[in-house]
Amino acid sequence: MNAAVLAVGAKLDRYEVLTKLASGGMATVYVARVQGLAGFERLVAVKVLHPSYAHETEFVNMLLDEARLAARIRHPNVVPTLGVSGSETELAGFFIVMEYVEGDSLAGLLSNAHKQVGKLPAPVSLRIVLDALAALGSAHALCDESGKLLNLVHRDVSPHNIIVGSDGLARLTDFGIAKAEDRLTQTREGQIKGKLAYMAPEQAIGMKTDARSDLFAMGVILWECVTGRRLFRGETATATLHKLLRAQIAPPSTYDAALAPLDGLLERALARAPEARFPSAEAFARAIEDVAPQVGGVAAARVVARSVRQCSGSKLAHERALLESARRALQPQAAGLDQSDAADGVSGTISLPAAAAPVERAEVAAAAVPAQRGLPHAAAASGFFVSPAQPRTDTRARRKTPASAFSPSSRREAWPRRLTHLLLVAALAASAFYVSFRQARSVAEAPAAATGQVTPGLGSEASAPQPSDARPAVRSSPDRR
């Protein structure tokens, strides 16, 4: 079994898979959607363990740890975790639901920039690093419910785990191997987790890590962003480790003299001794802000967004095309219910139910009598009534509708249309009854007007009371001469 089983349309709880977004060593991330009333749709990112790990207790606990820790961090520069779902009995096991961010990883952005223009502009690089430092500062300061510091360390800070959105905002993600005091799983002594080229030296040799280990990784990222080069990458893992622990680190001005203001800052950030580094993410960010004006300043979010479009525009367009293709592929599944609704009259032509047939016949009979007192014929005015000769909807046609059309989500989407249908039928039935009543009343008044008689209660002018000051008629009598 492999991750390919999660094809377009696969269901993960209430989420419907649209396309694969990325894959890592432990899990695959998909773009999925959740739908609601009135065409509501929200895209989410779903992180699913690889099938070989989906039911392994250690990896499941790591996934649950990531969800719990990330959900506690509420910061605009951290990808929000919306929930965790699944079970041990499901094919995909447990999975994390996160906010979908349209954009590219910093790794992809740097790679594309290297191919196109060589490197990112320094102000854009500084903005991205400052956003990531803000996220790290929030994570390092995270406390539990009682206010106790959790001493969280991300331990996997790298360009792959910084998402730069098309909105120009950089966000930190993937707390899968983060160290915290209340984790379900703890890293065993001597075990190394993370990407070697971005590890702090103490982490690479299995020693204790703290917040300053993450800041070393941020120093590596800043160095690579402003120079457009890789710092510790070697041909093999052994060569990479040797560079990390022993190789001399060249200042950025070696490759670009305009970057000289960053030399001292990065020398401190990349110190191999933890005590020689910046003590906190806030201190690192202040140092960047102090020297930023000398290298072009810090770019605004809209400038970063422009760089994302320029460097990764083709990747974003490809993702949008995949999502649109998935929507089109899933559309016929919902079309069955729409077709049955149209057969019931929702699409415009409404057939009255059998209970309303007498009213319809009264309407047809009354049409032969000319309208009186300027009352319009409601059926002609509305145009909604159907000729009696028109065949009614055959309910057997609904039995031929595919079963997928009657799924819970399809029924939830259809009930507003059905409610509108029922209300419209009720309104038309009431209108028909009113017209029939007025026609009957007019027919009843016609004979009375011809004979001079008055029908009580029909509003005739002859039945109106005489004025109170009218003099009574006096009949003469022959006896009073």
The catalytic site residues sit at 156
Tokens of 70: 């990330």
Write out the H or E segment, with its range, that includes residue 66.
helix 57-72
- CB neighbour list of residue 33: distance below 8 Å, 6 or more residues apart: 15, 16, 18, 41, 42, 43, 44
**Segments of 264-410 assigned E as strands:** none
Q: 3-state DSSP call for residue 223?
A: helix
Q: In what order do the strands lie in the sheet with 170-172?
A: 103-105, 162-165, 170-172
d(CA 247, CA 232): 8
Q: What is the CA radius of gyration of the chain?
A: 38
Q: In what order do the strands lie in the sheet with 81-86?
A: 11-12, 15-23, 27-35, 41-49, 94-99, 81-86
The conformational region for residue 167 under phi > 0 = left, psi -120 to 50 = alpha, else beta, is alpha
Tokens of 42: 């929200």
Handedness of CA 89, 90, 93, 98 (dihedral sign): negative
- CB neighbour list of residue 326: distance below 8 Å, 6 or more residues apart: 8, 9, 18, 19
Torsion angle of C-alpha atoms 181, 182, 188, 193, degrees rounded to 10: -80
d(CA 245, CA 204): 9
Please provide the DSSP assignment of 20-81 as one string.
Answer: EEEE-SSEEEEEEEEE-GGG-EEEEEEEEE-TTTTT-HHHHHHHHHHHHHHHH---TTBPPE
